[in-house]
Structure 1
Amino acid sequence: MPLTPLDIHNKEFSRRLRGYDEDEVNEFLDQVIKDYEIVIRENKELQNQLLAVQEKLDHFANIEETLSKTIIVAQEAADEVRNNAKKEAQLIIKEAEKNADRIINESLSKSRRVSLEVEELKKQASIYRARFRTLVEAQLELLSQEGWESLEDHSSVEKEQREREVREVY
């Protein structure tokens, strides 16, 4: 058990014949008591300061731990967001590629249909042209035959006859 100022104050020394000067010893003990009390007070103050510093240290250690955990959680969240963004980007790219393939295939199909329709129209135009040419040639051939002249002569005879009949009537 540590020595207290009261223990020093209450200490009694036995007397002997040629001992120390009692007043001098008492003065010295009084000085030791005062110094010892100062040391004890300073020690208590230092212990209180140490406790306060320890509390602050614990507080800052707790903050550090919390920040460390927060940083780890934030990093994990950032990694997760980054990974999700990459996955979403890949899905968007795949969807765009599918749409592009679909559009290209539809365009090729339409192009083939239009090409077939153009070819069909060309064939029909060629057939129509050949038929029309045949018709025109047949009509020209018909016009070039000799029977038309006799019709013209016959038609002028009939015309003259009608004119005579009209004159006779009037």
Structure 2
Amino acid sequence: MPLTPLDIHNKEFSRSFRGYDEDQVNEFLDQVIKDYEALIRENKELQNQALTLQERLDHFSNIEETLSKTIIIAQEAADEVKNNSKKEAQLILKEAEKNADRIINESLGRSRKVALEIEELKKQASIYRTRFRTLLEAQLELLNNEGWQSMQMQIDQQEA
């Protein structure tokens, strides 16, 4: 067990012949007590400072650990957002491709329908031209027919 200033103060030495001067020893012991008390106070202050510094170190270590965890969580969140964005972009792209295919298929269907309608109209126009030509030729034949000329003569005679 370490000495205390009180232990030093209460220390009694036995007396002997031709011993040390008692006053000098007492003065020296008083000086040792003062220095020892000062050292104890300084040691206590240093222990308090060390404790305070250790508490601060622990605090900053906790902050560092929290920041590290936060950075890791932020990185993971950023990676997750990035992956989700890629997936969403792929879904949008697939949807756009599907819509494009649907639009192309609808357009092809319409163009086929229009092509069929055009062909049908061409056939109808051809039939109409043929019928009209036949009608006109029949009418021309009637006009060129002698019966028409004789009928015209009869009308001319009646008018005269």
TM bin, normalised by shorter chain, reads over 0.9
Q: Indicate whether 1:109 and 2:113 are aligned.
A: no
Correspondence list, 1:14-53, <5 A: 14-53=14-53
* Post-superposition offset of 1:153: 2.3
Paired residue type of 2:5: P
Correspondence list, 1:8-157, <5 A: 8-157=8-157
* Post-superposition offset of 1:40: 0.5
* Post-superposition offset of 1:93: 0.6
Paired residue type of 1:93: L
SS of residue matched to 1:97: helix
* Post-superposition offset of 1:100: 0.5
- Give the percent of matched residue pairs that are identical in Structure 1 and Structure 2: 79
* Post-superposition offset of 1:128: 0.6
Q: Partner residue of 1:166?
A: none
Paired residue type of 1:141: E
Moved more, 69-78 or 148-157: 148-157
Paired residue type of 2:126: S
CA deviations over 1:26-64 (Å, ceiling 9, x no partner): 111111111111100000011111111111111111111
Q: Partner residue of 2:3?
A: 3
Matches of 2:149 and 2:19, distance apart in 1: 188
Q: Partner residue of 1:165?
A: none
SS of residue matched to 1:20: coil
SS of residue matched to 2:90: helix
Matches of 1:25 and 1:86, distance apart in 2: 89
How high is the TM-score relative to the length of structure 2?
Answer: 0.95
* Post-superposition offset of 1:147: 1.4
Matches of 1:149 and 1:27, distance apart in 2: 175
Q: What count of residue pairs does the alignment treat as equivalent?
A: 160
How high is the TM-score relative to the length of structure 1?
Answer: 0.90
Matches of 1:152 and 1:133, distance apart in 2: 25
Residue ranges of structure 2 left out of the alignment (5+ in a row): none
Q: Which has the larger radius of gyration?
A: 1
Matches of 1:157 and 1:107, distance apart in 2: 69
